């Protein structure tokens, strides 16, 4: 009897088995050697039992930048919704913490799925050749089982939100699963990644009780925010893709960095303008004050402009540094602008009737368990 996972693993191998470059038809020998691997000596993973280390590396617990990039659209949406609804601070804080936990879990699941698809390609790329599946520290079946546990944990967390969030959140799994395939068929897989990583832009409003289907103002603003986050994702991942540009060309992986290698900074500048403009449009649709409009446009333009100017695309270390810290520069600036707007909107309510806190708690929490009471 065939094992239940064999059809899935067979399908995962179909697209990644041939390591010949379409341009050269040359077969590249595996670059990974398990003997080259050195267990982490510092950081969180260094404190884990040795048997746990491959799973922690598979979930990229040692490289949290991706978690931050996945989290920021959720935070942007939550803070926008908080200003729009005058949500109580405790609800905003709990929602933000739940989203961060979800970003940590789901980013790990996405990385595991990506490594399953790429397990026959990663050994040929210098940066990825010592990943757990590439160096055969884990079997594909164990990785697939680990993915199932990650997705179940993500579902359990999603159930802590209002029921409507379930309907908004589950479709994103399709994008998470198909992104690795995009690298094989299009030079713009970063756009598919943007669709997945920016999905949190839809989540903050329903998490704070706003029905996007019946509120055209909120839904239009969320669409602009989503498009802005997609632009940001394509921008930072284009820089990230430059770290592997030579190896990707050899093994036939496509990327926007390869397609626009000669005009990368021009493309990056266009994406930065699009991101900033769409953020301002989202704020304008929600009638935000100059606190947000000026703050977010200035911080976004300044941080992205500095990154595009300073990053040296031919240097792996420079690309990694700006990718790693760019999340905090740009995402932090936007978040602070949104937080300032939330505080400002809360202080300027004069003579308006505010929804009682008891009603808010019933609307947002219902009867689900609360982190704070």
Tell me: the pLDDT tens digits for 331-368? 999 999 999 999 998 776 544 544 444 454 454 444 44
**Spatial CA neighbour of 250 closest among 17, 31, 15, 22:** 22
Give residue for tokens 């590396």.
Answer: 57
Answer for the pair 237, 69: CB distance below 8 angstroms, yes or no.
no
pLDDT score of 34: 61
For residue range 184-216, list pLDDT tens digits in order: 888 898 999 999 999 999 999 999 999 999 999
SS3 63: coil
Locate 248 and state its tokens: 């990707």
Residue 269 has φ and ψ, to the nearest 5°, of -65, -40
Residue 50 has φ and ψ, to the nearest 5°, of -55, -35
- Give the C-alpha separation, 9 to 144, whole Å: 8
- Give the C-alpha separation, 327 to 59, whole Å: 19
pLDDT score of 13: 46
Measured CA to CA in angstroms, residue 210 lies from 100, 161, 202, 205, 206 at distances of 20, 13, 11, 5, 5
A 10 A CB-CB count for 19 gives: 17
| pTM to 2 decimal places | 0.83
pLDDT score of 21: 36
- Give the C-alpha separation, 22 to 162, whole Å: 48
Measured CA to CA in angstroms, residue 358 lies from 95, 205, 242, 354 at distances of 17, 19, 52, 11
Cβ contacts of residue 351 below 8 Å, gap of 6+?
Answer: none
Low-confidence spans in the chain with pLDDT less than 70? 1-35, 348-373
- Give the C-alpha separation, 283 to 292, whole Å: 7
Answer for the pair 356, 319: CB distance below 8 angstroms, yes or no.
no
SS3 27: strand
pLDDT score of 43: 79
Locate 343 and state its tokens: 């505080």
SS3 20: strand
Locate 169 and state its tokens: 């959140």
Label residue 366 left, alpha or beta by phi (over 0 means left) and psi (-120 to 50 means alpha): left
A 10 A CB-CB count for 329 gives: 16
């Amino acid at each position: 009897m065939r094992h239940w996972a064999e059809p899935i693993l067979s399908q995962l191998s179909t697209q990644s088995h041939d390591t010949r470059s379409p341009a050269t038809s040359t077969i590249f020998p595996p670059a990974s050697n398990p003997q080259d691997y050195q267990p982490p000596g510092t950081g969180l993973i260094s404190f884990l039992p040795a048997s746990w280390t491959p799973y922690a590396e598979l979930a990229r617990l040692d490289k949290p930048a991706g978690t931050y990039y996945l989290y920021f659209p959720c935070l942007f949406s939550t803070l926008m919704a908080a200003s729009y609804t005058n949500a109580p601070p405790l609800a905003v804080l709990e929602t933000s913490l739940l989203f961060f936990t979800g970003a940590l879990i789901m980013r790990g699941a996405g990385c595991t799925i990506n490594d399953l698809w790429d397990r026959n390609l990663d050994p040929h790329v210098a940066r990825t050749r010592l990943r757990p599946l590439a160096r055969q520290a884990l079997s594909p079946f164990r990785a697939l089982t680990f993915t199932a546990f990650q997705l179940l944990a993500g579902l359990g967390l999603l159930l802590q939100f209002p029921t409507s969030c379930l309907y908004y959140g589950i479709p994103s799994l399709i994008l998470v699963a198909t992104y690795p395939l995009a690298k094989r068929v299009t030079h713009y897989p970063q756009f598919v990644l943007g669709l997945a990583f920016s999905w949190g832009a839809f989540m903050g409003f329903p998490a704070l009780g706003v029905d996007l289907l019946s509120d055209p103002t909120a839904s239009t603003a969320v669409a602009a925010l989503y498009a802005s986050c997609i632009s940001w994702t394509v921008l930072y991942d284009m820089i990230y893709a430059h770290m592997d540009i030579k190896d990707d060309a050899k093994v036939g992986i496509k990327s926007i960095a390869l397609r626009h290698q000669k005009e990368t900074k021009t493309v990056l500048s266009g994406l930065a303008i699009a991101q900033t403009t769409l953020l301002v449009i989202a704020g304008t649709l929600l009638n935000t004050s100059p606190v947000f409009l000026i703050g977010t446009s200035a911080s976004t333009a300044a941080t992205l402009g500095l990154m595009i100017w300073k990053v040296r695309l031919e240097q792996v270390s420079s690309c990694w540094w700006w990718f790693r810290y760019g999340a905090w520069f740009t995402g932090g600036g936007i978040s602070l602008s949104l937080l300032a707007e939330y505080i400002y909107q809360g202080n300027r309510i004069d003579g308006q009737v505010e929804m009682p806190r008891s009603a808010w708690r019933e609307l947002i929490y219902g009867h689900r368990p609360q982190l704070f009471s």
